[in-house]
């Protein structure tokens, strides 16, 4: 009888592990910041509700990427001038392996971020890492490097003033890398060369064979934007609409929709920054596009409106709706989509809003509180929205409701409260196996009931 019960428990444990949803890239299994996982906690702390806590060798904005019993992150090790890929055991938090992908370079190019900002991506066979110095590698799940590339040799250094932060994305058997950059070389802080003389400095999307790292195609993405407005730190987003696999790219003062298989452009938003109108300033774009209910939205920079177009739009098109000036907006966090609604985090004002996709109607808006900014993106699962700020404070709000309700705040940081942007928590929260995976200044936590 005892043996039968033990076998039953083992079988249930295996089934539960098999059903756990992976978090294979920066914005999760649906590429919209949401997960179908349930049983997630509201109240927790570094000593309460923590299944394990692992030390990480350096702070970075890259999120925990999860497949099966593997949790992958990237990190800088400033003292050793190394950029590393790491794998942790999802069940125990034990570090399985650590691989140096790049060494000998500075790991910090500005005071706000470092070269380990892009998140990893995985297809279950290999895990793919990209760093802001244009070096990428694929590893198998044992930590062996399958291939490695320095894109500076073939396509040139990334020509962005602030540290490049777009994450690679795996979709339909291809690895995609987005480079929206300035169209000229320049030096940043009179020290770092941005762009490579003699290389084509057009903005582009690159499709790569994930098995060997070789280029499949390169799609040039033209833009009428100028100077810093050409730069974007968003990542490609993919979705299927009317049996067509689409790729969405935001930046260069526009949102474009492409054929994911070939890169061919189908449509774009008429620029939100026309010459002589609006603010017409030159600002980089950070948020990625988000898809929901047949609509795609993009957040224009620096407290400008959100713009929406239908996924079947063709050619240059005007938005079907946009939020009011000084209304719902996001400068850095990418919104999430969950159960028919967009969730938009204004990280500077510390305000969370729920928005209807078809009309742009604001269902509710509420203040999260706190004294520091949010630059990570909201994660939504189990009818809860999780937002983590610079200090590592995790705010939990109710989702799938007709009014704002703040459920709680949990301090997960190391206790330091840096001035400005130094050593700030920027990694969004990942979800898998009824647990939250939270990266703070020096720890990676698995938190669950």
Supply the DSSP string of 275-295, one letter for each residue: TTSS------B-PPPEEETTE
User: Distances in Å between the alpha carbon of 250 and those of 118, 204, 229, 232, 410?
Assistant: 16, 12, 11, 7, 32
Task: For the beta carbon of residue 256, count every other beta carbon within 10 angstroms.
Answer: 24
* Contact between 346 and 330 (Cβ < 8 Å): yes
Check residue 277 and give its pLDDT: 63
Q: Which stretches of 272-416 are DSSP H helices?
A: none
Distance CA 397, CA 144 (A): 41
Tokens of 168: 């690679």
Distance CA 288, CA 387 (A): 17
Check residue 1 and give its pLDDT: 42
**Sign of the torsion formed by the C-alpha atoms of 35, 41, 44 and 50:** negative
Q: Which of the residues in the chain have pLDDT under 70?
A: 1-19, 276-280, 419-423
Check residue 110 and give its pLDDT: 80
pTM passes above 0.85: yes
* Residue range 232-275, pLDDT digits in tens: 999 999 999 999 999 999 999 999 999 999 999 999 999 888 77
Check residue 98 and give its pLDDT: 98
């Amino acid at each position: 009888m005892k043996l039968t019960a033990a076998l039953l428990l083992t079988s249930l444990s295996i089934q539960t592990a098999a059903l756990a949803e992976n978090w294979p890239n920066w914005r999760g299994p649906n590429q919209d910041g949401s997960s179908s996982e349930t049983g997630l906690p509201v109240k927790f702390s570094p000593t309460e509700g923590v299944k394990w806590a692992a030390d990480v060798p350096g702070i970075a904005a890259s999120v925990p990427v999860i497949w099966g019993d593997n949790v992958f992150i990237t990190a800088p090790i400033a003292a050793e001038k190394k950029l590393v890929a790491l794998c942790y055991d999802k069940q125990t938090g034990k570090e399985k392996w650590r691989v140096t992908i790049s060494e000998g370079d500075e790991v910090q190019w500005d005071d706000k971020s470092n070269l380990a900002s892009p998140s990893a991506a995985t297809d279950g066979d290999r895990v793919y890492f990209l760093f802001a110095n244009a070096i990428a590698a694929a590893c198998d799940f044992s930590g062996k490097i399958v291939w490695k590339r320095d894109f500076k040799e073939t396509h040139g250094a990334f020509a962005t003033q602030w540290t490049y932060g777009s994450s690679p994305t795996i979709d339909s058997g291809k690895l995609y890398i987005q480079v929206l950059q300035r169209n000229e070389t320049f030096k940043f802080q009179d020290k770092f060369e941005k762009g490579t003389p003699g290389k084509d400095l057009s903005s582009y999307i690159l499709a790569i064979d994930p098995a060997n790292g070789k280029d499949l195609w390169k799609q040039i993405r033209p833009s009428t934007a100028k100077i810093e407005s050409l730069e974007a730190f968003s990542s490609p987003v993919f979705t299927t609409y009317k049996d067509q696999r689409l790729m969405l790219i935001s930046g260069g003062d526009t949102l474009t929709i492409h054929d994911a298989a070939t890169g061919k452009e189908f449509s774009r938003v008429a620029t939100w920054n026309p010459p002589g109108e609006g603010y017409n300033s030159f600002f980089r774009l950070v948020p990625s596009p988000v898809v929901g209910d047949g609509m795609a939205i993009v957040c224009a920079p620096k407290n400008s409106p959100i713009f929406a177009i239908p996924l079947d739009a063709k050619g240059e098109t005007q938005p079907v709706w946009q939020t009011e000036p000084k209304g719902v907006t996001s400068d850095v966090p990418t919104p999430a989509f969950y159960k028919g609604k967009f969730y938009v985090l204004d990280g500077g004002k510390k305000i969370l809003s729920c928005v209807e996709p078809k009309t742009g109607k604001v269902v509710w808006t509420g203040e999260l509180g706190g004294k520091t900014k949010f630059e990570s993106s909201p994660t939504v699962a189990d009818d809860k929205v999780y937002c983590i700020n610079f200090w590592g404070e995790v705010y939990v709000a109710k989702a799938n409701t007709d009014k704002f309700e703040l459920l709680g705040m949990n301090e997960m940081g190391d206790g330091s409260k840096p001035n400005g942007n130094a050593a700030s928590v920027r990694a969004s929260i990942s979800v898998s196996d009824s647990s939250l995976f939270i990266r703070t200044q020096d720890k990676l936590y698995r938190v669950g009931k």
